[in-house]
């Protein structure tokens, strides 16, 4: 029997703090008119001291799970797409796994910059369709404000923080993820990057002084690249799904620049109102931009059962890709018993995490004692001799 991968739950989380263009006018040489005209951005959300990529990803994940009858313990796989992970390692996905109590799930991060969510969604869908897993949690999460040079007016006005998550589940109902295109071109690696912090340029006083830990971008080249691949990858993904552009009701583009989205619409000869656009309120949230737009599109009634939807993105790497899906609206009724079970298991997950940490410390002390047995009086005399 054929297996299909459907989105059955979705959720988003953004920081409370909102940074306006007017505030940026007092920080760098820019203006609200300049930012709005060139990018379409008016505000963006900025993470506070107690917020991070992992905390935003965890909140989005919990909201996505609440829409389903699933508990975190039933998840088989967690993928976090991010360009601003909590740490180089462990993976941010492992921190989410622990926080939500997904004790049976494998977890890893995926680094494909702004295209990351499409890559991750496709990988999870293929794992479901192959029969190797039943349920997956896919998250796009970023705190790019931590990587921004707040003195560079060309980049600091663009980026914002946030997270979006979806729960994918196996079903015998036709639809869900239909096709995906994933592409890359490393010859353009120097067009959008953070130079330091890895093995090539480890963190040092020199790298910090030179600002090598912040985002660097050749805006003109990235713009040209984006306008080309957004349209071409959309066409390819639609064709692979056996559809025509006229069959697509909704396109969810990566929210990098409104002018890029408008150019893609012209290239595809599609009306702009077929595109979900929220860049004016969130800025560029990289891998989180598509799932955040998806959540808002569903909340606003822009996406309905039977609709064919295309997600399309580009990013550093260079990477780009597009994914076609049929939105079926497979429902898992959430009963009061399921809600109670989920709350209980969430509390149990916190207790489990605490007890496992204590057990690990006790185990370390025990093994440490076994590795260094107390020497006998005879051994001590020999050492003195």
Please identify every residue annotated as catalytic. Answer: 114, 254, 284
SS3 content of the chain, % helix, strand, coil (to 5): 45, 20, 35
State how far the Cα of 32 lies from the Cα of 29, in Å rounded to an integer: 11
The Cα 365–Cα 372 span in angstroms is: 11
Cβ-contact 202, 196 below 8 angstroms? yes
Neighbours of 356 (CB within 10 A): 12
CA distance 189 to 316: 7
Cα 212 to Cα 195: distance, rounded to the nearest angstrom = 5
Report DSSP state, residue 138. E
Best CA proximity match to 294, nearest among 281, 316, 278, 283 = 278
Query: How many C-alpha atoms does 51 have within 13 Å on its Cβ side?
Result: 22
Say which DSSP state 213 is in.
Answer: T
Distances in whole angstroms, Cα of residue 76 to Cα of each of 53, 58, 128, 133? 22, 16, 10, 6
CB neighbours of residue 159 within 10 Å: 24
């Amino acid at each position: 029997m054929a297996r299909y991968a459907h989105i059955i739950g979705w959720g988003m989380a953004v920081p409370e703090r909102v940074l306006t263009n007017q505030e940026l006018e007092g920080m760098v040489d820019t203006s609200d008119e300049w930012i709005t005209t060139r990018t379409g951005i008016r505000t963006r959300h900025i993470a506070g001291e107690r917020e991070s990529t992992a905390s935003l990803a965890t909140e989005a994940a919990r909201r996505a799970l609440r829409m389903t009858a699933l508990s975190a313990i039933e998840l088989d796989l967690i993928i976090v797409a991010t360009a601003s992970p909590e740490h180089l390692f462990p993976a941010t996905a492992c921190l989410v796994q622990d926080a939500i109590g997904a004790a049976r799930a494998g977890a890893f991060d995926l680094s494909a910059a702004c295209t990351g969510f499409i890559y991750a969604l496709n990988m999870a869908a293929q794992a479901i369709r192959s029969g190797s897993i039943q349920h997956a949690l896919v998250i796009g999460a970023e705190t790019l404000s931590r990587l921004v040079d707040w003195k560079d007016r060309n980049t600091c006005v663009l980026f914002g923080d946030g997270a979006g998550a979806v729960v994918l589940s196996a079903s015998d109902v036709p639809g869900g993820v239909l096709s995906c295109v994933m592409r890359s071109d490393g010859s353009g690696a120097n067009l959008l990057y953070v130079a330091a912090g890895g093995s090539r340029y480890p963190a040092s006083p020199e790298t910090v002084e030179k600002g090598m830990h912040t985002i660097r971008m050749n805006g003109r080249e990235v713009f040209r690249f984006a306008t080309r691949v957004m349209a071409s990858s959309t066409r390819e993904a639609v064709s692979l799904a056996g559809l025509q552009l006229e069959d697509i009701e909704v396109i969810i583009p990566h929210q990098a620049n409104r002018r890029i989205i408008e150019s893609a619409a012209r290239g595809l000869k599609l009306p702009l109102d077929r595109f979900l656009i929220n860049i004016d309120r969130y800025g560029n949230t990289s891998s989180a931009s598509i799932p955040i737009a998806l959540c808002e599109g569903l909340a606003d009634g822009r996406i309905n059962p039977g609709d064919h939807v295309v997600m399309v993105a580009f990013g550093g790497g260079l990477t780009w890709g597009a994914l076609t899906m049929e939105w079926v609206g497979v429902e898992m009724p959430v009963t009061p018993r399921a809600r109670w079970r989920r709350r209980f298991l969430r509390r149990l997950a916190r207790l489990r995490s605490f007890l496992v940490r204590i057990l690990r410390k006790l185990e370390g002390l025990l093994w440490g004692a076994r590795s260094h047995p107390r020497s006998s009086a005879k051994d001590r005399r020999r050492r003195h001799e």
